[in-house]
Copies of this chain bind each other. A is one copy, B any other.
């Protein structure tokens, strides 16, 4: 239940040519406190509730718990969420042994694109594609929970 993820900015649209999957994601937060975020997400036809803890001191690992829920119930729960819904398309891009999740944001976060890669240990290395920009792992501004409250357009 602990995940190791590294997050990067994306500096070109080249990743789109390499993407093998694409899905629309709408999500809101029942709690945006970084100590214990609670997220409601609808991804195409599926819905989930997800709880995440804070990044550890090194900034790389984070407690995560997720459970699939009914899509209609998720729509009701989204109405209860804090103001500021996240709307984005998620592309999956394979690059050697790893898969990057690349999120292109819309609405208040238009112009922002970030890529995440999941690793099995903090020491694990991975191939960096040419469209990958600066690392922003552990920078709370890029948490989706924070993008609802302080969206990219306001930075």
Contact = CB atoms under 8 A, between A and B. Distances in A.
A151 to B, nearest CB: 20
Interface string A17-50: 0000000000000110101101000000000010
Interface string A69-86: 100010011001110000
Given A30-B36, A30-B38, A1 B80 contact: no
A147 B91 CA distance: 44
B65 A67 contact: no
Contact of A36 (B1, B67, B80): B80
| Copies of this chain, count | 2
A32 to B, nearest CB: 9
A82 B38 CA distance: 13
Interface residues of A, number: 20
A53 interface: yes
A26 to B, nearest CB: 17
A148 to B, nearest CB: 13
B38 A63 contact: no
Interface of A: 1, 30-31, 33, 35-36, 38, 49, 51, 53, 63, 65, 67, 69, 73, 76-77, 80-82
